[in-house]
Each structure stands twice: as structure tokens, then as C-alpha cells.
Structure 1
Amino acid sequence: PAAVLVRLDRLARPRAAAGAFEGLAATRTLLRTRTHPLVAALISLDENGGLREEAVVRLAAEPGPMASVFLALRTDDWVDSVRERATAALLWHVEPDEVRVVVPLLHAMRGRSRAAGVLDAYRDALLKGPGLRTVGGGLGTAAEPAVRRLGVELLDERALLAVALRDADHTCRTAAGHALLARLRGRERHPVALRLLRVPDPGVRARAVEMLPAGVEAAALVGALADRSAKVRDAARRRLLAGGTDPAAAYRDFLRTHPSPGLLLGLAECGVDEDLDILHAHLDAERSGLRRAARAGAVRLVRRTADADPGGSAL
């Protein structure tokens, strides 16, 4: 785990705590004659800055997760030259198995001043890399929510939709929804935007409504018109207006067959005085949600129409 590696790096010095090899010359000889990356990895924890830098140079040429994770540790080194070499080398270690161990570690060190910006630089390197979708898929299934959030930026459209609809972390769902909306082009926009109307985040749902064509049928927007978020309901009404449909008329039609609290509130937000009769008709509804929405909607409609016509009466 990343936290264990960070603690290991802290406890590996001074030399007595690490049980390091005897003597500077002997350690350097070992580093230069042994080819196994574990030797360079262990020496990269040494108290001697020169040895750590030489170990980083060796690790830079080694592929795989072991070399990558110890390079990531050294991006927080207190010696500038060690830190700079480690950071430069790490940006080339972007294979999926390397990314899966590096990102959690960089995330664990993100609060350290010496490691500031390394995670962002690594993410930029991933975005330019050839194995973008494979890497994103690996991060997208990580247990750590913060790691999944970074992986979201690297996923393909199908995976983004799955994360937006089903991920357990709210921030991941939201990030995936916004990332997917930003990529939608041409004919794919309409069906995908409709599916994103089921995303829990209201900001994503509102943007999805705005991606729909102006002439979209009111029936396709019934869920958005009745959304629990006023922002989404407003976006849906604007779509209808853009296509020449009266939102209040659409609300009246839907309320005749499928009354819901959201539809009652939506009618109150755009209706006229005469729509009070529809709201009043639901004050004695069997469902408590309908009764509450009818009362709140009636108050809202009266206030809204009174504000629009200060000299008249809404009753």
C-alpha cells in the first residue's frame, strides 16, 4: 500500500535503521555490479544523496512497477538533483502496471511541498501516452476513490458512461458525466445525453438536457421536466421553448396522466393563474408527496404571478 511505502521511506534512514550495506564504496560497487532492480530500489533509500541519485539513474532505465514506485518515492527527495532526476524519469514510466502503483503513491504524497505538481505532471504524461484507454481502465477500477477520479479522464466513452451511472463515489460519477458530455459529437450526442439524465449529479443532468436538440419531443424530457432539481427543470423548459413548445402546456398534458411532485412544482414555475386549479386538485391526493408538492407549488405560483403583476391579484 502507498501509505506503507511512504512510511518505509521515512524509516529507512539513518543507516542504522535501514541495515544498509557496509561502507559507501561497497554500496556503490554493489549498485554498479548487480543488475537486479531491487538492489537499486533499496539503495535509493540510502542516507547518502549521491548514492540515491545514482540509484535513481539505474531505476530510470528499468521498466516495471518496482522501479516506478521507488522513482515515485524519490520525487519527494530533499536533494534537488535527486528529485529532478526522479521526476523526469517517472514521466516515462506510463505502462498500465506501472501506473497502477505510481498514482496511489503520488496521491499519498500530494500534500508534501517538495512533491507539489508531480501528480499533475504525471497525469499530463498519461494523457499523451499511447495506452490511454488501458491505463484508464486500470485506474477506473481502483479501490481508492481519488485514484478512480484520475482514471476517469483516461477512460473511453463506454467506460465513462458506466462510471457516471454506477460508481459508488459521487465525485467520480460527476467527473465521468462531465468528461463524457465534453466529448460528445454529432449523432451520438442525443442518445448518450438521454442516458445521462439518470446520473445522480444535477449539474450533469442539466448539461445533458442542454446537449439535446432544440426540437426534442416533450415526451423525451418528461423526466427532466419533473426532476427534483429546479436547475434541471429549468434547462428542460428552455429546450422546449427553443423548439417552439409551451412548457406549461406540456406540464398540463403530463399531469393529466402521470402526476408527480416534480411536474406539479414545474408547472408552478412556469404556469399562469389558471393553473392554480390543477395544483388545488392535488391538495387531497392520496400520496403525501403530491400533497406537499401541490401546496408548495400553489404558494410559489401565487408569489411568482404576484411579483410579475404587482397591481393585480393572483387569487
Structure 2
Amino acid sequence: MKVSLIRIIEKGNNVRLEVNVTKNRTYKLGVTALLLSALLTAASQVFYASRVQNAHPFLFTGISFFLTACYFSFFARSQKETYRWKSSWQSLLKLNLSSVLAFMGFYFALKFIEPAIVSSLEMGLGPLFVIFLALMQREVIAKAQWGIAFGTLSACLLLVISVFNGVSGVQTNLDSSAILGLIASVACGLGAVLCTNYSNRLSGMGWTSSMILTHRLYGIIILSFIFTYNILFDYIFENILWILIVTVAGVLLPMYLLQKGIQYCETFLVMMSLCFVPVFTFLFQLFDPRISWSTTTLMGVVLLFILGVFSINIGEKQS
């Protein structure tokens, strides 16, 4: 009897040990996936910014997001979920418009503005727009959130002023292109917040991630082809190779890795990985001869990173 009891205890200990080892492996896999996703995203932003100087920025968004929609459509069909169009078409329409702001604004800005600044403004302006939307819904804003909001606003203003004063990594004149690039950077920050909001609404209506990713890109695809239909065939054969490379390495693969990270890691670590993207972007752009060193940009990127980490810590404590 004692021998049987000992064996049962040993088996139980072995099972717990195997579970702990499995959890440790999946956690490491998730961390690796998040790190690779951030690195690939940052590298693709710098690579895209260097190649788009001689091409229309919406050539990439049209072709790339058409392929992305086709890719996720395959997975959405395999899930055999029922679409609830009647109750969700308004949220889907708003998600498409928000995606236009987020993605077309982002890739347009990269043609004229330093990649690290575009990436930082997208991340840094997020808390400001979140507070603005919360105020519109008459929600109470914590003092710490106000502090983070004003801090991110200061850091973003520092980056904007660096562009206007010509001390950013990309030497630009204060012309319409630079102003449009900054406006597009602000727009992509707003679009990113709205995308999160409307994606959550669709998720609450029973839409899966693949379903959302398949149908959120129609606005981008249509507008991109409207802007480039007359030059599409003139440029497509010269640019299709790098567009495919950035699509796979900079869009599809980071999305897949990010999803794996979300699956295996806690929310805190996922959000932390997103804060690292502007930092990685700044490091990668040092290898681009078109972009020079900018201490002002580095200060803004680091400040936004610190505020981002602080914001995540506050969110974790509140939850």
C-alpha cells in the first residue's frame, strides 16, 4: 500500500514537472516571437522608407494589403464562422476608415519623415487620443494618465519641432511635404486607437481575428488603387520584389509572431514589445545612409519608451 502511494506521488510530481517545463518552453517561445515581431516591424519600416523615395507610397499599400487580405481570407473560410453583417456593418465600415488613417497615413509619412519619428508619434499619440475618446464618453481620467498624456505630448512636440528646425535624421525643408508627413503621422496615431476600439466591438459580436483582418482592409485596397491605377503597371514590375519582401517580412510574419506572443505571454509583455518598436527603428535607421544621427530624435524616442513602460505598469496595477 505504501509503495503504491509513493508511486502515485512520484507520478504526480512528474506530471507537475512536465507541465512547468512545457509552460516555460511556451513562454520562451512567446517572448522570442514578440522580440522577432518587433525587430521585423522596425527593420521593414526603415527598408520601406528607403525604397519608397523613388515610388508612390500607395503602390505598396494597395498590393501588400490585397495579398494580406487574401492570406487571412483563407483562414477565415477554414473557421466556418457565420458573419453577422446586419448588426456589425457599421462597426466594420468605421474599422475600414480607421485602418485607412492608421496604415495609409503611416506609410505615406515614411516617405517624408524620419522612420523613428513616425513610429514614435504613432505610439506616443495613442494615450492622448485614448483620453480624448474617454472624455467624449464622460469617463473619469486618473491623474497618472493625465501625467503620461502631457509627457507624451511634450515628447511628440519635441520630435515635431526637430522636423521643423531641420535637426531630425532626415534633412527636410519646411514645405508642404514635411507638413503633410507630420499630419499623416498624427492621423496614423488616431487611426491606431480607433482600430483597436472597433476591432474590440467586432470581437464582441463574435468575429474572429482572421475575419476582422480579412475585411478591415477594403478601404485601403480601394483607395490605394484609385491613387495609383494610372501608374500601377509602369512601376509594378520594377518594385514588385521589394513589395513582396516587405509584405511577407514586414506585415504577414510580424502579425503571425505577434499573435503567437499574445497566445503565450501576458498582456504586459505584449505591450512592452510594442514600446520597443520605435527604439529598434532608431537603431536600424542608423544603417540607412539617407538618415543621419539625431540626438533630438533619440531623446524623444527614449522619453516615449519610458512613458510607455510607465503607462503599461499603471494599467497592470489598475487591472
Query: Do the structures match in fold with TM over 0.5?
Result: no
TM-score between the two structures when normalised by the length of structure 2: 0.19
* TM-score, length-scaled by structure 1: 0.19
**Structure with the larger RCO, 1 or 2 (CA within 8 Å, 6+ apart):** 2
Larger gyration radius, structure 1 or structure 2? 1
Higher helix share: 2
